[in-house]
Amino acid sequence: MPPFRLVKASNDAYSPSYAPVVVVFGGTSGIGRAMTKRLAELLQGRVHIVVVGRNKPEADKLFATLPTPTSFGPSSAQPKSEPECTREFIYCDLYHMSNIHRICTEILSRFPKINYLVLTAGVASFGARCETDEGIDKLFALRFYWKFAAINDLLPGLRVARDRGEAASVFVCLGMGNGPKIDFGDLGAKTKYWKGVRPIWQGLSYGDLALALFAERDPEIAFTHMFPGMVRTEANSPQAVSNPILKFIIWLLLPLMWLLFIPVDVSAENMIYGLLNGEKGFFQRNTVGDSVGPRNVNYSEREKERFWEHCMQTTRSVPK
Ligand SMILES: NC(=O)c1ccc[n+]([C@@H]2O[C@H](COP(=O)([O-])OP(=O)(O)OC[C@H]3O[C@@H](n4cnc5c(N)ncnc54)[C@H](OP(=O)(O)O)[C@@H]3O)[C@@H](O)[C@H]2O)c1
């Protein structure tokens, strides 16, 4: 585990010769927002940012805090011909795969090259199984399936970056091989749901295996699954829950949570380290960015094929 000052120094040293294109699903809050801000700061604004989510006002607030390349001093190495760096918000409710396919087509038409695809959107909630009109459990859709659809759809953009010799990296903030074995007898948690525990728990492992399989298919691209630990974000605030009893308990625990949980800026620094380190292949990283894998992705070829087909069909994706 590198000391935090080395993590920060490593991030600070990142200085590509081009302005990277970064697409962030979840940049309107918490870890995704903090990562976007930090990335823009260390690149001194010289980065194209596309934030996907539902909350435009929050995205606009974020964009207003980011440095612009024109804020460089006269000694800046910024070439005069550099086109203006994009700050763009794209609305998408991730419960529906059709939404994802639509906006990914839009993203690729405007940004044919993608250097970093950062996927932090998600909530961990519990309750009864509830299917969308596409037949996917809502909780599972938000835990895992949208990520599969978005990665698959945006692969052409990442391949363009890779073919240019630039960074091409997919980063998912959630797990690191710490889930259970995948239950191939109940893919999609259709029979055993346990009030949402199964999609939450199995979703970690689905993410691991999906990223490992994407890495097998596109070995020149980096696919990282990183576990954030417990981080001080909106997700852990009383506002995040509707149940009044739970809300009250969170209020009571707030001082303790604030003491024990990782500050979001520290988490974002570690996450950026995980994003920038690892040129190609499959990575599973712990809270501080150590590579700990491969873990929990050891399945038979038949199981892998079955899982891939399940994901393709469930998300109504086509191979890209
Ligand atoms: N914070 C922790 O302690 C912790 C611990 C373990 C795992 N995690 C996981 O890490 C990830 C990031 O957590 P966080 O703390 O940064 O969460 P957060 O602050 O609550 O942010 C969640 C993000 O997900 C987006 N989102 C939620 N539902 C959406 C939907 N239906 N469509 C589109 N976007 C949606 C939100 O965007 P909108 O603006 O559209 O609402 C928001 O940007 C999550 O997957 C979380 O489960 C967090």
Residue whose Cα lies nearest atom 11 of ligand 1: it is 120
The answer to whether residue 244 scores a pLDDT higher than 90 is: no
Rounded CA gap, 7 and 13, in Å? 10
Q: How far is the CA of 81 from the centre of ligand 1 (A)?
A: 37
How high does pLDDT run on average in the chain? 93
Rounded to the nearest angstrom, the gap between the alpha carbon of residue 241 and the centroid of all alpha carbons in its chain is: 22
* Percent of the chain with pLDDT strictly greater than 70: 95
The answer to whether residue 298 scores a pLDDT higher than 90 is: yes
Phi and psi at 231, nearest 5°, equal -120, 140
CA distances from 79 to 76, 82, 98, 115 (A): 8, 6, 40, 20
Rounded CA gap, 273 and 6, in Å? 10
Quick one: average pLDDT of 111-136? 94
Res 82: pLDDT:
52
Res 24: pLDDT:
98
Name the band, by pLDDT with cuts 50, 70 and 90, for residue 126. confident
Quick one: average pLDDT of 103-108? 98
Res 250: pLDDT:
86
| Region of residue 240 (left: phi > 0; alpha: psi -120 to 50; beta: else) | alpha
The answer to whether residue 77 scores a pLDDT higher than 60 is: no
Rounded CA gap, 114 and 25, in Å? 13
Q: Which residue has the higher pLDDT, 255 or 319?
A: 319
The answer to whether residue 248 scores a pLDDT higher than 90 is: no
**Which ligand 1 atom minimizes the distance to the CA of 58?**
39
Rounded CA gap, 211 and 225, in Å? 7
Res 222: pLDDT:
98
Q: Is the CB of 136 under 6 A from ligand 1?
A: no
Quick one: average pLDDT of 158-168? 98
Residue whose Cα lies nearest atom 7 of ligand 1: it is 174
Name the band, by pLDDT with cuts 50, 70 and 90, for residue 68. confident
Res 73: pLDDT:
43
The answer to whether residue 239 scores a pLDDT higher than 90 is: no
Quick one: average pLDDT of 26-43? 97
The answer to whether residue 72 scores a pLDDT higher than 80 is: no
Res 70: pLDDT:
60
Rounded CA gap, 58 and 28, in Å? 5
Quick one: average pLDDT of 27-46? 97
The answer to whether residue 74 scores a pLDDT higher than 80 is: no
Rounded CA gap, 178 and 285, in Å? 11
Name the band, by pLDDT with cuts 50, 70 and 90, for residue 19. very high
Quick one: average pLDDT of 126-138? 93
How would you list the strands of the sheet with 21-25, edge to edge? 87-91, 48-53, 21-25, 116-119, 169-173, 222-226, 281-285
Q: Choose the residue to mutate in 136, 233, 270 for probing ligand 1, maximizing ligand atoms within 8 Å of C-beta.
A: 233
| Residue positions counted in the chain | 320
Q: Residues 196-231: pLDDT tens digits?
A: 899 999 999 999 999 999 999 999 999 999 999 999
Q: How far is the CA of 197 from the centre of ligand 1 (A)?
A: 17
* Percent of the chain with pLDDT strictly greater than 90: 82
Res 71: pLDDT:
47
Domains in the chain, ordered, with CATH?
18-234+264-314 (3.40.50.720)
Rounded CA gap, 295 and 273, in Å? 20
Contact status, residue 305 vs residue 314, Cβ threshold 8 Å: no
- For the entire predicted model, the pTM comes to 0.95
Nearest Cα to Cα of residue 20 among 168, 148, 125: 168
Q: Is the CB of 303 under 6 A from ligand 1?
A: no
Q: How far is the CA of 23 from the centre of ligand 1 (A)?
A: 15
Res 315: pLDDT:
98
Residue whose Cα lies nearest atom 44 of ligand 1: it is 122
Range from 103-107, 181-185, 247-251 carrying the lowest mean pLDDT: 247-251
